[in-house]
A and B are shown apart, each in its own frame.
Chain A
């Protein structure tokens, strides 16, 4: 029980291919072999039963044939009565002289020869007649072992026998023919039916040819043994001549004398059929080795076993190949998964088949590639974000602007405009402080607006009348301090507006509005910065290009549109694709750039910041 349990556990621990194989054997090989064996067994058994059933019937026939022959032979003594003279001789009691006796003997012997040996049944080999102390005899073969003149004591008269025939076996009478010819002796009392007297005893020795021919008709196989024996086991005739006259010691152990049974001995199993003749009290036996009966099936069995083994071997090989086909990709998958676990995403599970395994491999491949892409994307996004931030930081006070501002200040100093100088320096200082102090990505809207106002004011000093601007804040007064925006959103747009506006025109007017608007796209109130200029506008093609650039890749290059793209990208990265920069422009009239982002309070800012930090602290998570 325990061992079974252990085996069961052991089975659970087995490898999949082994399990498949064991299952295959359990499901196919074992049932097939059991089925094959059972059907073979049943078949041989039915053959046995059939032969066991019909052979006794044949034996009944054979026994009847033998009985018929015996009846014919028993009628042979009656031939004596065909001749008046022989009956007269037999009836004669006394003789005048020896010559008379000898004459009668001569006459009788020649009659016997004539009647029984040279005509009639060819199996008769000797006729002996004991009558009133006279012996008449005629025999084909010379014999020994019996002196008839002394046999009177035993056989002279048997009142019980009357008209019945008694069969005497060679062993009982002791008579042996030359060459040990097998025979039986038929003994019959000669009755004078007219005088109702016993005339003597007749013995007819009959060769056993008739039995052998009867048995030969029944079975001519040399493997089967057939014999005829008395109820006591004395073998009268045997298909093996050496056994004639011997004793079958087993007869007392035969379970039945009419039917068939199986015996097993050292020589193997035999099917023995027996039939007992009631009249003669003889037992006819047919014994055949079971092997011979099933010889044909044995060949079929061997062939089947070989074919079966062959099939099993072939199928096992095929099955193992098949299971390998199943398990090998799984093994590879396992190995590749380890690789992936180690962070090597550059893997490809190559499975050509279109089955479930192929589908699995396909899924795995697509999963890995998706992961890889995601990682790459995240990675890129992060880099871009950093880059965008860095650029924003860089651009806040760029060297060019510093140079221009300082130049303007220097000119103001030369012209001795003290107030302007002081204001400019103050503004510049505040801008620098804004930049320096600002470590967060977010600033309050007020600060952002202040910063751009500072920038524009400085630029106004430089360009004087060429630049005019207005900033309209439609937010409630407190909102400027409580709401936040990503930093450095406005300045790049304003920079662009100034740059392109002054390039094409003498003067440029910039209007900035800060407002909350309902957005159809997000379905809520959004913050919107709008920067409107009256510059040259943007041609339709250029506009399209710009929009495409912003949509596709914000970092394509640091060309003129870079500021716009950067703003768009940073909003997108922070708040998703629903937000960003929109361009409206009419060539020759002006351009409106609106920057749209969600309404952010301090809590939102903190949340976004935290997420960003986590990103930075656990850089391995997505890798």
Chain B
């Protein structure tokens, strides 16, 4: 019986030992499960150009040395700086399709990674752009579109219909919804400008039967020519109630002409132009409303989207662009935002 007791005791000891013998005495940290990528390199970013060869983007405006396109250049350079891309901003001194084509040809020769164009004449430009695309270059249009087959996507500043109707509205407010008016457009063939004009006409026909479009004059984005055209319009149409400037050089030139003709307040001037160039005319009443978007923002967005597309992220609706906001995309058209109206009250807030 004592043997039995002894056995029992030793048995209990064994059980206690076994149960007390938890896995102990291991190092303080023992990995149970790891979710770290097995080796850091293979899970890395998709093949990007090495930093010593940044993306090169050629940006072609309709022309250079006018405030609007200068501002676009500023925005583009800002984006290039923040993204580490190289931006070559080159445009013809006057809005000339042939020169624009030559600049694009040069870019193709230089093997830039992307070309962003504000098209003067979509038709003439098309073969060159197709050629660029065949050379493996991403082609983007901004400010002024070309045909779809000529580019990957179009960065539009505003919705065309909205802008066209809105420009018509701003004139109608100021003329009391009646009277004759003329449009000072940029180039007769510029697709985007013509689209706006189409919607102005639609808006006028729909809501303003008492108003009448008497003439569309082209300025070719030349301030001098625009001034001359504005004076001519005032002379040709003595009962003119208003002028809509359809491109940025138009409204200042028209306001200047109105002011000089002593028609301040009688002929209303509205249209697309920069607040800085319009501020004096808005203040003295020779122009009523200037409408525009931020050209800097347009330049910035164009470059950012170009770089994104080169990285393999074509623009998508709802995409958040740093220092810009949310991008709206409809098909292959990116819409930057809504137009801003500048009046004498708020014009000082803007520095472009």
Contacts and interface: CB of A to CB of B under 8 A. Distances in A.
A60 B36 CA distance: 12
Contacts of B293: 194
B154 interface: no
Given A195-B350, A259-B31, A163 B322 contact: yes
B278 to A, nearest CB: 15
A257 B19 CA distance: 32
A195 B18 contact: no
A256 to B, nearest CB: 5
Contact of B15 (A48, A52, A262, A305): A305
Interface string B1-27: 001100110011011001101011010
B294 interface: yes
5 contacts: A78-B325, A163-B322, A194-B296, A256-B34, A316-B4
A91 B82 CA distance: 23
A56 interface: yes
Nearest to A308: B15
Which of A60, A254, A258 is the most central at the interface, judged by chain B CB atoms within 10 Å of its CB? A258
A191 B323 contact: yes
Given A260-B33, A265-B28, 16 more contacts: A22-B7, A37-B21, A52-B32, A56-B35, A57-B35, A88-B349, A162-B322, A194-B293, A196-B75, A259-B32, A259-B34, A259-B35, A264-B24, A313-B8, A316-B4, A316-B8
A30 B36 CA distance: 42
A197 interface: yes
A48 B23 CA distance: 12
Interface in B254-303: 293-294, 296-297, 300
A402 interface: no
A586 to B, nearest CB: 81
B294 A194 contact: yes
Given A33-B18, A88-B349, A195-B351, A18 B28 contact: no
Nearest to B340: A194
Given A18-B3, A256-B31, A87 B323 contact: no
Contacts of B18: 33-34, 37
A52 B33 contact: yes
B78 interface: yes
Contact of A316 (B7, B15, B74, B351): B7
Contact of A261 (B21, B31, B297, B350): B31
A64 interface: no
Given A91-B349, A196-B297, A312-B11, A260 B323 contact: no
A53 B33 contact: yes
A41 B23 contact: yes
Contacts of B296: 194-196
Nearest to B82: A162
B52 interface: no
A476 interface: no
Q: How large is the interface on B (under 10, 10 to 19, 20 to 34, 35 or more residues)?
A: 35 or more
B335 to A, nearest CB: 15
Contacts of A33: 14-15, 18
B346 interface: yes
A599 to B, nearest CB: 69
A53 B294 CA distance: 52
Interface string A312-337: 11001100100000000000000000
B337 to A, nearest CB: 9
Contacts of A194: 293-294, 296-297, 340, 350, 352
B338 to A, nearest CB: 11
Nearest to A14: B3
A255 B346 CA distance: 59
A70 to B, nearest CB: 14
B45 interface: no
B29 A262 contact: yes
Contacts of B28: 253, 263-265
A60 B297 CA distance: 36
Given A88-B346, A255-B29, A309-B12, A196 B36 contact: no
B196 to A, nearest CB: 20
B346 to A, nearest CB: 6
Interface string B232-254: 00000000000000000000000
B110 interface: no
Contacts of B297: 193-194, 196
Nearest to A197: B351
Interface of B: 3-4, 7-8, 11-12, 14-15, 18-19, 21, 23-24, 26, 28-36, 74-75, 78, 82, 293-294, 296-297, 300, 322-325, 340, 346, 349-352
Contact of A260 (B11, B14, B31, B340): B31
B74 A56 contact: no
Contacts of A317: 4
Interface of A: 17-18, 21-22, 25, 29-30, 33-34, 37, 41, 45, 48-49, 52-53, 56-57, 60, 78, 84, 87-88, 91-92, 162-164, 191, 193-197, 253-265, 271, 275, 301, 305, 308-309, 312-313, 316-317, 320
Contact of B36 (A45, A52, A253, A256): A256
A308 B78 CA distance: 78
B3 A193 contact: no
A255 B36 CA distance: 11
A265 to B, nearest CB: 7
A615 B340 CA distance: 148
A14 to B, nearest CB: 9
A52 B4 CA distance: 45
A103 to B, nearest CB: 16
Given A78-B325, A194-B297, A196-B74, A49 B346 contact: no
Contact of A25 (B11, B324, B346): B11
Contact of A263 (B23, B29, B75, B300): B29
Contacts of B11: 25, 29, 309, 312
Nearest to A90: B349
Nearest to A15: B3
Contacts of B350: 194-195
A254 B36 CA distance: 13
A301 B33 CA distance: 25
Given A258-B34, A261-B31, A262-B32, A195 B294 contact: yes
Nearest to B324: A193
A164 B31 contact: no
B302 to A, nearest CB: 13
Contacts of A263: 28-30
Nearest to A274: B35
Nearest to A56: B35
A78 B325 CA distance: 8
Contacts of A88: 346, 349
B323 A49 contact: no
Contacts of B29: 253-255, 261-263
Contacts of B35: 56-57, 60, 256, 258-259, 275
A91 B294 CA distance: 15
A256 B30 CA distance: 10
A196 B8 contact: no
Contacts of A25: 7, 11
Nearest to A17: B3
A262 B28 CA distance: 7
Which of A162, A163, A263 is the most central at the interface, judged by chain B CB atoms within 10 Å of its CB? A163
A320 B33 contact: no
A163 B326 CA distance: 13
Contact of B78 (A49, A78, A196, A275): A196
Contacts of A30: 14
A255 B33 contact: no
B32 A49 contact: yes
A354 to B, nearest CB: 27
A45 B325 CA distance: 50
Nearest to A51: B32
Contacts of B3: 17-18, 21
A308 B30 CA distance: 32
Contacts of B78: 196
A92 B296 CA distance: 20
